Amino acid sequence: MREIRGLRERCKGNVPPLNKRIPVNTLSPSSFGAPKVSVFSGKASYDDANALRQQIEDAINALELSADFITPGDRVVIKPNWVKEHNASKPEDEGGWLTIITHPAVVREVARWAARKLQGHGSVTLCDAPQSDSSFATIRRLHRLDDLITDLTKEFPGIAFLLFDMRCEEWTIDDGVTIAKRELPSDPSGSVDIHLDADSEFLGHPGLGKLYGASFDFATTNRQHTDPHHEYRICRTPMNADVLINVPKLKTHKKVGLTVALKNLVGTTPRTNWLPRHTEGTPAEGGDQFAESTAKRALEGTLMRTAKKILFGRFFLSKLFVPLKKLGRVIFGDTKDVVRSGNWHGNNTAWRMILDLHKCFFYFDGRGVRRDKPLRYLTIVDGVIGGDGDGPMSCDPVASGVILAGTHPVAVDCVSAQLMGLNWKKTRLLNDAFAIQRLPITGFAPSDINVASNKPEWTGPFEQMKECFEFQCHFGWSGHLESDERLAKMGKKA
């Protein structure tokens, strides 16, 4: 029992909310990163380590980072996308992760680049909080992450290399129903609670009281987000980093359109239920759970909310509920064909949470105190094999062969959208990132974003990039998120 209590305490934010009473903003949004992004094209393969290393270094060098971006003694944290050990549409295929997880070859080269900059002094930590039902042990085995740590330690003596799972819990799920949970150690440094409160994008949100996070737990999600209090629990190691290197996968996402740099920071939180993903109900009811305001969807929503409240924490009953859910799929339709759970372009919830997380990182440190100097933040995107369609968990492969890099996640994501053949203005995650009034995170306009590339047709203002890809959207975004040119081909209005 003492060990379990210790795990629970480690998952708690154990720093006083000092940020609540510091009214002065000491940082300017212009210090959060430049609107320059690099996109380097290469082979759509991870087999040639030398070619991949050169491609990554070319992308980083094109940013012209200052000489002291990484200095000896720094704490460097690398945050890959390790969301799931297999593709949800084909769990039996051990290689199915290729389209959904940052490739280990990219992680290795990014870690080696950072270690060289440290010149024998400092630390490099690899960490993520995968989806709650993921097996981190399987991810470690498939990607040979322990061997990677061993190899790096031998190659760079004097540097401390760490690897850990930031989750507090791992869940066992049967057909979308949580039937068991077990405690995990999480971040060895603990976590910190950031009280955004009136600076949150959820302030005044009409969906308050009906927010949904995960695992049938309505109470926790809505307790953390009730005006005027809006709070996030974030692992302390990435918040305390001198340099945070975000290494996401280039792919589509059912709730926010695309998942690249911005969405990847969701994996820095130990308690997934603190993060609102959608608002319960149909649009007519003020929700974004469904795309249709029909009697059938309203009935489905009522039945599911009732079932979730009954089943929460009762794992034996949850096991009995699985056959009933299969029956419900016959009556109400399969999620592969029907929009539910906020999986569409009308989701007015998830983007707020993601932008709030970036406010936390840009303005606060691991003590919960306002930063007096900006976090050094670099994104390196694994787009060698991208993922489209039913993202982020059941992606189809896109042999795009690209590595992107940038020091501002909004700029990186705007360029990513353009490169994928998507209209950045049609996702609120990006469009509203430029409209934030409380704790703004962009110190530039979209027109300021420029691309450096080894391809002339991609060089220059990002909206003028030509010969881009045509990533297929999740069906809840199809006909909405595509570029104007693609919509015209589809016979739809822009």
Q: Is the pLDDT of residue 45 over 90?
A: yes
Give percent of the chain above pLDDT 70: 94
- How far apart CA 417 and CA 419 sit, in angstroms, is 5
Between 20 and 203, residue with greater pLDDT: 203
**Position 221: which residue type?**
T
Look at phi and psi of residue 409 and say left if phi exceeds 0, alpha if psi is from -120 to 50, else beta. Answer: alpha
Phi, psi dihedral angles at 419 (to 5 degrees): -65, -35
Asked whether the beta carbons of 361 and 441 are under 8 A apart, the reply is no
- How far apart CA 72 and CA 306 sit, in angstroms, is 55
Assigned token pair, 287: 């929700």
Assigned token pair, 374: 């900006």
Question: Tell me: the pLDDT tens digits for 284-328?
Answer: 999 999 999 999 999 999 988 888 788 777 776 777 677 777 777
Assigned token pair, 69: 């971006």
- pLDDT for position 253: 98
134 Cβ contact partners less than 8 Å away, ≥ 6 residues apart:
82, 83, 84, 85, 170
386 Cβ contact partners less than 8 Å away, ≥ 6 residues apart:
99, 249, 250, 251, 395, 397, 398, 400, 402, 420, 469, 471
Question: Tell me: the pLDDT tens digits for 431-486?
Answer: 999 999 999 999 999 999 999 999 999 999 999 999 999 999 999 999 999 999 99
DSSP 375: P
- How far apart CA 95 and CA 411 sit, in angstroms, is 31
- pLDDT for position 222: 96
- pLDDT for position 126: 98
Between 319 and 256, residue with greater pLDDT: 256
382-409 average pLDDT score: 97
Look at phi and psi of residue 368 and say left if phi exceeds 0, alpha if psi is from -120 to 50, else beta. Answer: left
371-397 average pLDDT score: 97
Q: Is the pLDDT of residue 233 over 80?
A: yes
- pLDDT for position 215: 79
**DSSP string across 409-451:** HHHHHHHHHHHTTB-GGGSHHHHGGGS--SS----S-GGG-EE
Phi, psi dihedral angles at 17 (to 5 degrees): -75, 65
CB atoms within 10 A of CB 219: 11
Q: Is the pLDDT of residue 17 over 70?
A: no
Asked whether the beta carbons of 172 and 131 are under 8 A apart, the reply is no
- pLDDT for position 7: 44
- pLDDT for position 11: 58
Q: Is the pLDDT of residue 42 over 90?
A: yes
- pLDDT for position 20: 41
CB atoms within 10 A of CB 321: 21
- pLDDT for position 428: 98
402-409 average pLDDT score: 98
126-136 average pLDDT score: 94
- How far apart CA 374 and CA 123 sit, in angstroms, is 19
Between 451 and 91, residue with greater pLDDT: 451
- pLDDT for position 397: 96
Q: Which 3 state secondary structure label does DSSP give 310? A: helix
CA distances from 466 to 79, 129, 364, 434, 462 (A): 30, 36, 38, 24, 9
**Ranges 126-140, 186-200, 295-309, 416-430: which has the least confidence:** 295-309
Assigned token pair, 482: 């595509």
| Bridge partners, residue 39, by sequence | 404, 453
Exposure string (b/e) for 46-83, b if CB count within 10 Å is 16 or more?
beeeeebbebbbbbbebbebeeeebbeebbbbbbbbbb
Q: What is the mean pLDDT of the chain?
A: 92
Between 23 and 364, residue with greater pLDDT: 364
Asked whether the beta carbons of 152 and 188 are under 8 A apart, the reply is no
Torsion sign over Cα 383, 69, 355, 246: positive
Q: At what angle do helices 145-155 and 136-143 cross, to 10 degrees?
A: 60
Asked whether the beta carbons of 235 and 269 are under 8 A apart, the reply is yes
* Residue 100 C-beta-side C-alpha neighbours within 13 Å: 28
DSSP 455: S
Asked whether the beta carbons of 406 and 379 are under 8 A apart, the reply is yes
Residue 10: which H helix or E strand, with range?
helix 2-11
Name the pTM for this structure.
0.94
- pLDDT for position 25: 53
Assigned token pair, 318: 């949850």
- The structure tokens 């049609």 sit at 426
Phi, psi dihedral angles at 487 (to 5 degrees): -65, -35
Q: Is the pLDDT of residue 379 over 50?
A: yes
Nearest one of 343, 330, 345 to 289, comparing CA atoms = 343
Nearest one of 405, 422, 379, 394 to 99, comparing CA atoms = 394
Phi, psi dihedral angles at 171 (to 5 degrees): -105, 150
Q: Is the pLDDT of residue 18 over 60?
A: no
CA distances from 150 to 126, 145, 156, 342, 407 (A): 13, 9, 10, 42, 29
Assigned token pair, 37: 């992004």
- How far apart CA 386 and CA 101 sit, in angstroms, is 9
Q: Is the pLDDT of residue 83 over 80?
A: yes
Within 333-400, where are the H helices?
350-363
